Chains A and B, each alone.
Chain A
Amino acid sequence: MVSRIRSVILLVSFALAGSLDATARADDDAAFFESKIRPLLVRRCYECHSSESKELGGKLRLDHRRGILDGGESGPAIVAGDSEGSLLVQALRYDGVKMPPDAPLPEGEIANVVHWIKSGAFDPRTDTPPPVGSQNDAQPLWSLQPIVDVPSPEVKDPAWPADPIDRFVLARLEAAELKPAADADARTLIRRLYDDLVGLPPSFDEVERFAAEFPRDETALARLVDPLLASPRFGERWGRRWLDVARYGESNGNDGLGRNPTFPHAWRYRDYIIDAVARDVPYDRFVTEQIAGDLLPFETPEERDRQIVATGFLAVGSKPAKAMNDEFDMDVVADQIDVVSRGILGISVACARCHDHKFDPVPTRDYYALAGIFASTETLWGLSGHEGLSAPSTDLHVLTTAPKVPPPAGFVETAILLESNTGLPKTIPPPNWEPGTPLAMGLRDRASPADCKLCIDGMSTKPGGAVPRGFLSAPRLPKSESFSVPGNQSGRLQLARWMTSEDHPLTARVAANRVWMHLFGEGIVRTPDDFGVYGDSPSHPELLDHLATRLMREGWSIKRLVRTIVLSRTYRLSGEADPRLLEADAENRLFGRRTLRRLDAESLRDAMLAVSGCLDLRADGGSVIRHRDILVNLAEDLHQTTDRRSVYLCYLRSSPPPELAAFDLPSFVTTTSRRDVSTIPGQALYLLNNPFVQKQASRMAELTLACETSDQSRVRYAFLRALGREPAKSEGEEALRLVAESLAASLSEGEAWALLCQGLLISNEFRYVD
């Protein structure tokens, strides 16, 4: 799907060579305005000449195009093409009027304004002035408007909808004179539900049972769904999805200088997430615990520990090396701002570190208002592999209720740092904690919280004025005391309250859209981490608001929202549809049919283990690096083979689990809720040659040979096990032929059957779900 969208928006510029000159010039003008003029106006003039100004100077507004052309009391500020005749230039040169009043601008900046006016004063801003008191340049961005609970629309076919959701979908289809696809059959539906809810394939018996019941009794669907939602496997499946958003990793990743310190305690955050998702902690609470769990009241020591571990969310980020990097502390803050803003609010704030956001309504002041909150917070990441050049070591939280697990007897660390000058082993300072002490990464407030100074161009060597700690200026929520940051606190708790306020237009929409995306393959907004101006617009805005409203109304329960959606008619649709629907809505933006989905890296591995009969569902393994504070790049291969679920593998950054790496794992360096789905030859090599795949095939072959005696029944058994269906006659013959030819080529019986089983495991039918 990714490639399809990309191909649609692909712009092969060579074909446009004829029109390039004009376009290039327009691009240059736009680039010049954005890089030189807009920042200058914002920084130098807006204080007195914009919608934000307390008192508008000379009735002149410079924050929209008409304002600058029409001018104020003294007449037009500029005459396009005539820099010498432009009042603005005269004022900047202190020729008569003197602007800005404090001190003249540097010559270079004035020269930029002159150049801009001379070349036509290109100005992409709107003609209409932003309302007084509003954010600079704010376009009415849909995602910042309040969530509206619209009644579900009337439809022509009232028999079709099973839930109000379906009415929103059907109304759009009917408006386009299209009909939704037929319902999927029971076998397709159960496989879909298993993958979507628990990330595992159903057993053949379960398929048979559901296929027998469902056509007679539709309530069989809810009876199938509820145990899946209640299963710990749901926490693992949906927890893993949040871990992508949390850019969770068990090591720092390459710090830019090739060093990659482990995070030996990060797995506690992983286990917290899996548990919280399985217990369906309300989403507002879930977010609050991760941002400010250390500041929340608790009733038991277990609760305290749990909430502290939750703040690992903001401590497991990837950091650039500390060595020679004066911006290190602000780099840590930048990662925290990014994961909170894009990960939870679906809006990017990162650009505002250096300049006012060019399109999204995020001025630099907002960035530093947030930065003050995180700069007032101590981030506890631990010892950084004892390599201070990568990151200075920090304290860690000590847990009081988790068991003490000392390293195994005789454990000796082998990945030892060497002194760069002498080549001798470095002396590692004695640990602050007894070996095996349960520790957690996380946050705590600094002793004296303070506002952050605005850094011009993002450089801390160029400080501007301090910005009071606070949140984004857009959206504006009704004022509430609970949002103001007391002087003696960092402001994280208030930030969490602000984000999870029911008036907040982004948090619930972003969460609901992601739930929808995980169940349909694409969101209602197809850029799930960007609800800003550059992001996609919702295909069904009212449906999105309906889902967001239901999410909040039902106590922010993600499980209830999932349940509602999977019981809808829309979720049940078949992938097959008549050519008219396929043609008219090739992208399936109307959700009139099912889109095929590839198993992701974890589901593919887990499915292979399930089919080989060897999946180990235990969840108490901690991490293979739990006793190892080392640099991954100095260690041998740290990954160990295991039959446990993929979510429990060791997600080292820059060294991902080899059994998953081929299938579009994100880098875990920045937040993402939507993984790429690439189709590249490395995946074929993995399927053909990876020892893990071959091992599962051998195990499955052993089972097949042990359970059945005749070749025909063995083929049947292998198909049932892998694909949940009988082989077609021709398929059965092909399979027998493959085995016979392999035996004739002197493969052993086990090898010949393993070859067949592997063929089933790597087939598209196994790897793609309808």
Chain B
Amino acid sequence: MNHSRRTLLRSATTGFSCLALQALLGEPRALASPEGLVAKAPPLAARAKRAIFLCMSGGPAQLDTFDYKPQTGSKPHPGSVFRFDRHGESGVQISELLPETAKHADRLCVINGMHADTEIHAQSFLQLHTGDRLRERPSLGSWVVYGLGTENQNLPGFISLNTSKSSIYSSSFLPSIYSGTPIGVNGEDMTAATIADVRDDRLSIGAKRRQLDFVQRLNNGHLLNDGHLARRNDERLDGAIRTMELGFRMQLEAPGLLDLGGETQETLERYRVGQKKEPIGTCQWSDFGRQCLLARRFVEAGVRFVEVNHGSWDQHKNHRRDLKANCDATDAPVGALLHDLHERGLLEETLLIWGGEFGRPGLTPEDGKDESGHAASAFTFWLAGGGVKGGHVHGKTDATGAVAVEGKVHFRDLHATILHLMGLPANELTYRYAGRDHRITGPEGGNVVTEIFA
């Protein structure tokens, strides 16, 4: 794609860059799209146009949330220690810790047979995001935007809220326009997190426009360089001119999206926006409500892939107390997000993905212990909207929930499935780097779990 534009520039005999000329004439539509971000038609029929990944870091305890394991037989064994009930018409089992999510049981597609390669947090977290547990590789959101572009040229295609290290949202060897734009980093106060330098209240937009016009005239003179060719062939200069325009336009659109002032009090309360509590054990309050509400606003505005984060679900010592705190912190915002997307008719084309880097082994009820560890051989994800079956449970674990026994889904299968739902053949979505074609599903490739498609 860059090729054709370069050829165009090189063959321009008038000695004038068309794109730069457009910059001067102020034709914003043509300008504001760094190429590669333009929305592309997916090669497969897409069931979902956009995705929100509700990333639950630390290893959520699946046996006390979605994978119900009652006691069987006469001998006590590990299983669920919180109460479960059937919900909705489908009767999906959901724990008492998630009453708001449970109201949407008929929209959830619960995958109970997830499994991963390692119980090391950092490695598994990286693998969940990139398919690789050791090396920096493009993140899922970057692959999606690489494959599909994005709908709103005034905003990045991939936004990651309350994110952690850059390897989690990096485009790695994919061009950096596919990189995630971070808003807030773990531990930062998410109530105030924003896109750096996105607004400037000192000067009016008119004054800034006049300034940018002056700059773009200088830039164009620099590009033309008395008729010499080399600079006009340098796409970076042209790209710099165009991204100045996109940045300028982001000032107009992004602050409004980040400002929740226009939302009703009722909405803010449903999402629990701004609800702040002291950390309880491993549970860090991260204004998850604001994250979820922003996620809704971003996908409404045409952002392709949004990730929100909450942690840590890594309850080693005070399992019951900390798990409850994590559920309390996330349940209502997730419920509100499901509700709003459904109400607004967006859920059909928006894929929600909930889960973490692995799960936890079950506790044995009433044996006095309140501790748990890591479990990568069985855990739970759920999907909703975006062309998946609602009120459906896929896969099964054994009687104690320790091992996935049916409908096993590895991260690479999950990645393949998500991409497929978005119209991208995961095993064929490749990028040539360091001498070979890379894909998120790695050398093994991923299996698309078609059984969960609606």
Q: Do A and B bind each other?
A: yes
Residues in chain A within 8 A of chain B (CB atoms): 1-4, 6-11, 13-14, 17, 20, 24, 27-28, 31, 34-35, 253-258, 260, 320-321, 323-325, 327, 350, 418, 420-421, 423, 527, 530, 533-535, 575-577, 579, 582-583, 586, 593, 596, 598, 633-634, 654-655, 658, 661-662, 664, 667, 669-670, 676-690, 694, 728, 730-731, 734-735, 738, 741-742, 745, 747, 751, 755-756, 758-760, 762-765, 767-768
Given contacts A257-B314, A684-B247, A655 and B196 within 8 Å (CB-CB): no
0 or 1 for each of B112-126: is its CB under 8 Å from A? (1 = yes): 000000011111010
Residues in chain B within 8 A of chain A (CB atoms): 1-3, 6, 10, 34, 43, 57-58, 119-123, 125, 134-136, 156, 164-167, 170, 173-177, 179, 181, 185-188, 195-200, 202-204, 206-208, 210-212, 214-215, 217-219, 221-223, 225, 228-231, 233-237, 239-241, 243-248, 250-251, 278-279, 281-282, 284, 311-312, 314, 317-318, 373-374, 427-437, 443-445
Taking CB atoms, residues of chain A closer than 8 Å to B246 are 681, 684
- In angstroms, Cα B315 to Cα A323, docked, is 13
- In angstroms, Cα B218 to Cα A759, docked, is 9
The 9 A-B residue pairs with the shortest CB-CB distance in the complex, in nearest-first order: A684-B247, A256-B122, A633-B187, A678-B176, A7-B2, A689-B200, A31-B443, A679-B239, A258-B186
Taking CB atoms, residues of chain A closer than 8 Å to B428 are 13-14, 17, 20, 24
- In angstroms, Cα B201 to Cα A139, docked, is 61
Taking CB atoms, residues of chain B closer than 8 Å to A1 are 236
A10→B214 contact, CB < 8 A: no
B435→A685 contact, CB < 8 A: no
- In angstroms, Cα B251 to Cα A317, docked, is 37
Given contacts A324-B120, A596-B237, A685-B198, A670 and B136 within 8 Å (CB-CB): yes
B437→A765 contact, CB < 8 A: no
Nearest CB of B to A727, in Å: 9
- In angstroms, Cα B123 to Cα A677, docked, is 28
B236→A658 contact, CB < 8 A: no
Counting chain B CB atoms within 10 Å of each CB, the highest count among A20, A662, A738 belongs to A738
Given contacts A680-B176, A684-B244, A9 and B432 within 8 Å (CB-CB): yes
Taking CB atoms, residues of chain A closer than 8 Å to B235 are 3-4
A324→B247 contact, CB < 8 A: no
A767→B240 contact, CB < 8 A: yes
Chain B residue with minimal CB distance to A598?
Answer: B236
Other-chain residue from A258, A320, A734, A762 in contact with B187 (beta carbon distance below 8 A): A258
Given contacts A3-B235, A423-B278, A583 and B10 within 8 Å (CB-CB): yes
Given contacts A577-B230, A681-B247, A10 and B215 within 8 Å (CB-CB): no
B222→A350 contact, CB < 8 A: no
Taking CB atoms, residues of chain B closer than 8 Å to A27 are 437
Taking CB atoms, residues of chain B closer than 8 Å to A679 are 34, 236, 239-240, 243
Taking CB atoms, residues of chain A closer than 8 Å to B43 are 14, 17
Other-chain residue from A582, A745, A755, A759 in contact with B230 (beta carbon distance below 8 A): A582
Taking CB atoms, residues of chain B closer than 8 Å to A321 are 121-122
Nearest CB of B to A580, in Å: 10
Nearest CB of A to B220, in Å: 9
- In angstroms, Cα B2 to Cα A323, docked, is 46
Taking CB atoms, residues of chain B closer than 8 Å to A421 are 281, 317-318
Q: A324-B121, A634-B187, A742-B207 are in contact. List 6 more A-B contacts (CB 8 A).
A: A253-B165, A577-B230, A683-B243, A731-B217, A731-B218, A738-B210
Given contacts A4-B235, A758-B211, A764-B241, A533 and B435 within 8 Å (CB-CB): yes
- Ordered by A's residue number, 16 sampled pairs between the chains whose C-beta atoms are within 8 Å are A6-B174, A254-B165, A257-B121, A257-B314, A258-B57, A258-B312, A533-B435, A596-B231, A654-B164, A667-B165, A676-B176, A684-B250, A687-B244, A759-B215, A764-B219, A768-B240
- In angstroms, Cα B248 to Cα A530, docked, is 38
Taking CB atoms, residues of chain B closer than 8 Å to A731 are 217-218, 221
Taking CB atoms, residues of chain A closer than 8 Å to B179 are 678, 680
